[in-house]
Structure 1
Amino acid sequence: MHQPADQQAAVLTCHQVWEEMNRATDGGVLVRNFSRRIAMNRGFVVETALFPREALDAYSSYNLGQPISEAQQNTYFSEHRGGSQGDYREGIEAKIANVVDCLARFPFSKRAVITVPNNSNAPHTSDADAKCLREVHFYLDVPQVNADSKSKKFILNATVLMRAQAAEIFPKNVHFVGRLMETIAQHLKIKGALAGSDNDASDGKDVVSMVEIGELFYLATTLVSVRW
């Protein structure tokens, strides 16, 4: 397993993790249980020849349930870039709403989870059911400097579990998770602002109105170089 001891606790940028993935899988090496801590608040756009910025935006918008044009799909969507295994759109808006509701009502809940595969007993011949991204766990933390403050700033962190990851596809996956974290944080700010304006709603409880995205703990069971 490619897990240098001096880097286990390091918080890296998305680009640094992508570069490390490429080094680790150079020559066709297969890596098991690859994990890293990623600073999502330092940016999550990793542009490559396979994934220019426009392709990243198109895929993430689609997987977040947002409309994209037919021209965007024709230009940027392909089997090489992930195909049906990288299609996470089904039910995603309801899943996001569920996480937002959970964290808005119970800021320190351990149950704010998005499960991507919608078929728990998928046939192994179906690529559409063999999603690479399996689960994303979301949790709110309070910076130590604000721990005793009545007006708390929350940090939205997450853990992502990947069944498999090709290093060349990582830019698309981490961009989607980053956009997902931003979307949830924004919805929490809106709900928190509404709750904070209602004197009865807060009732002395923590109101989640100041939220920033923070860190992603990334785990891939199997890491390879390329999808093909």
Structure 2
Amino acid sequence: MSKEPKCAPSKNLNGGFPHFATAKELYEHILEITKLGGELVVRNFVGVIEDIRPAPSLVETDLFPRGALEYYTKKNMGFDYTQEEYDQWQLAERGGEQGDYREGMQAKIRNVIDCLKKEPLSKRAVIPIPFNSEGSETADWTNQGQNKCCRELHLYLEEGKLKCTAIVRMQNANIFVKNIHFFSTLLDYVAKELGVELGEYTHWITNLCHDRTATSC
């Protein structure tokens, strides 16, 4: 690791939210609190994952075996993938346009790296997700591609580590493992480029449902 970056003095109030050692514990928790399924919505859930490294953030399920997780992360990171991988792993049940974050992602990642290298005190290291091709004045609730589940990732340097807060419009508990594998991979990539360790990750969800059977996820 390189010299510890300059960090702003801070008071992080996420200490008041539930903390989970890894993504697996948070996943099990949100499955439990949404287990009634159907139209049940848990509002404004916030959880903090203390170890967001990629290895402990790989949580396999029946819906998302390792191959599926790695494919979707590769796709959302903007990396190349094969037609064979697409045919094997792409399924509507695993999320459609709402969970496709690929467009412009490499440029967005380069932007936050540049930001935190040049100005480590910055509050502008943000990865916005929706409206890549057009402005938000075109917002259309019927367009799944515009209504991305994750809205923004806010990256910041604190206590010499790279930390992140995600703002999530909609989280289906059974799809969380796909999201968190992607986010952890992205954060690990940025941390290595900055030469810093990964710190905690805060996951803020406005609407939390069990699965995609809920209306207008």
TM-score by length of structure 1 reads: 0.80
Aligned residue runs from structure 1 range 67-216, under 5 A: 67-118=80-131, 119-120=135-136, 121-142=138-159, 154-189=160-195, 211-216=196-201
Q: CA RMSD in A?
A: 1.6
CA distance in 2, matches of 1:114, 1:140: 15
Secondary structure of residue in 1 paired with 2:155 = strand
Q: Quick check: which has more Rg, 1 or 2?
A: 1
More off after superposition, 21-30 vs 31-40: 21-30
State the Cα distance separating 1:10 from its structure 2 match.
2.7
Q: Which has the higher helix share?
A: 1
Partner of 1:36: 47
Q: Report the identity percentage.
A: 41
Bigger relative CO (Cα 8 Å, ≥ 6 apart): 2
What are the superposed Cα offsets for residues 167-198 of structure 1, whole Å, 9 maximum, x if unpaired? 00000001111011011112223xxxxxxxxx
| 1-structure distance, mates of 2:20, 2:29 | 13
Q: TM-score, normalised by structure 2?
A: 0.84
Among 3, 14, 26, the alignment partner of 1:17 is 26
User: 1:224 is matched with which residue: 193, 209, 212?
Assistant: 209
Q: Is the 8 A contact 1:31 1:223 kept in 2?
A: yes
- Distance in 1, Cα, partners of 2:152 & 2:175: 17
Give yes or no for contact 2:20–2:26 (8 Å, CA) kept in 1.
no
Instruction: In structure 1, list runs of 5 or more residues that go unmatched.
Output: 1-5, 143-153, 190-210
Tell me which amino acid in the other structure corresponds to 2:22: T
User: SS at the partner of 2:148?
Assistant: coil
Counterpart in 2 of 1:150?
A: none
Whole-Å separation in 1 of the counterparts to 2:56 and 2:128: 24
Whole-angstrom distance in 1 between the partners of 2:82 and 2:18: 41
Residues 220 and 32 (structure 1), Cα distance of their counterparts in 2 relative to 1, 3 Å cut: same
Task: Please state how far the C-alpha of 1:7 moved relative to its aligned partner.
Answer: 7.8
Which residue in 2 is equivalent to 1:61? 74
1:27 correspondence with 2:36: yes
Q: Equivalents in 2 of 1:9, 1:124: separation in Å?
A: 31
The answer on whether the counterparts of 1:108 and 1:141 sit within 8 Å (CA) in structure 2 is no
| Number of residues of Structure 1 aligned to a counterpart in Structure 2 | 191
**Residues of 1 paired with 2:139 and 2:34: CA distance?**
28
**Unaligned regions of 5+ residues in structure 2, if any?**
1-14
1:155 shift after superposition: 1.0
Quick check: 1:12–1:36 contact (8 Å CA) kept in 2?
Answer: no
| Structure 2: distance between partners of 1:110 and 1:125 | 32
